[in-house]
Amino acid sequence: MTPLLILMPTDFELQKLQPLLTDSVKRAGGVIATCGFGPIVAGIRTTQLLAFYKPRAVVLVGIAGALGPQLPIGTATFFPRIACYGIGAGSGLNFDTASELGWPQWTDPEFSQSFGDVIETAINSDAGDSTRLMLLTVCSASGSREDVADRLRKFPHAVAEDMEAFSVALACRMAKVPLTVIRGISNMAGDRDKANWNVTGALEAAAELVALRIST
């Protein structure tokens, strides 16, 4: 059994974060692994890693795009609420979420508990104002402000988007392992001009929060 499993979606994030986190993760007796890019492989790979390492806790860390002005580029925060956009019917103005269609994402047969489009995760109790923040997991990153508007119509409380957290959260919930989600804000969602991004600053800020989380 491993005390702590640190997950990062991509090899790119791993290469940036591993030098910043290796010492603190080693002191905590943890391991670092990638879970893959996008909601499908992230959920499958996380399930495999949970079965192999049997961690007592999981931290997911990487970059995300801000859906509004609440989170400045180059900062990072904890996300205790993870929502899912893209599973349902239709698209754009005609999109209905799974919950709106009356379909749960998953029902726990042991506790007869259903999980819809939002999952609550366990985070550090000292996260402060970040405890109100919602991260939106999407199948495809926003390519325009119109995409952002479509997402916010369904999830007006979402402040950032990623492509893995909901799947990882559901895998952890199935395995009954607590999860902390930390994302660095690398860009404004819908802005695909990487000249405006700050990936390095976002990942450095995220690494600081991971170190804080595993040291307490």
Tell me the three state secondary structure of residue 73: coil
CB 5 within 8 A of CB 56: no
Average pLDDT over residues 126-130: 44
CB 187 within 8 A of CB 66: yes
User: In whole angstroms, what separates CA 96 from the centre of its chain?
Assistant: 22
CB 180 within 8 A of CB 56: no
Does residue 127 carry a pLDDT above 70?
A: no
Interatomic CA distance for residues 6 and 211, integer angstroms = 11
What predicted TM-score, i.e. pTM, was given to this entire model? Answer: 0.94
Interatomic CA distance for residues 29 and 4, integer angstroms = 7
Summarised one tens digit per residue, pLDDT across range 64-121 is: 999 999 999 999 999 999 999 999 999 999 999 999 999 999 888 887 788 899 999 8
Place of tokens 């999109």: 95
Query: What residue ranges define each of the domains in the chain, with the CATH number in brackets?
Result: 4-215 (3.40.50.1580)
Summarised one tens digit per residue, pLDDT across range 188-208 is: 999 999 999 999 999 999 999
Which of 186, 74, 188, 66 shows the shortest CA–CA distance to 133?
Answer: 66
